[in-house]
Amino acid sequence: MLSPGLIQGFLVASAILQLQSFFVSLYPFCFLEMDGYHILVEWLGLPTLNHDAVRFVRESLWSRLRRLDSLSRLEMVYVAYFALSLVSVVALVAGTVWFLVYAGEA
């Protein structure tokens, strides 16, 4: 309803930030302990999933892969959580940049 200008740009940017905040709070794979993370750890029964996953990937994963040791089910959960977290952060940043670049053209 507004003509293009500062107020319209501000409202669009504000709406984007609010939607991102909503989705990030529900998304369990962001290295942040938001609502979605707490739902996931309750469902899995792993209250320290984030800490344990980061510690396992940093301290143990690479040596285990070099020795070609198989991973336990819990270790696979750690690796999957870490990988999904990393991918989701990259996707969120890339998606935001893409949207801001191409939203200005529309």
The 3-state DSSP class for residue 33 equals: coil
- Assessment of whether the complete model's pTM goes beyond 0.75: no
pLDDT at 47: 92
Distances (CA, A) of 35 to 40, 57, 59, 73, 77: 9, 24, 27, 25, 19
Q: What is the pLDDT of residue 56?
A: 95
What are the tens digits of pLDDT across the range 47-93? 999 999 999 999 999 899 889 999 999 999 999 999 988 888 888 88
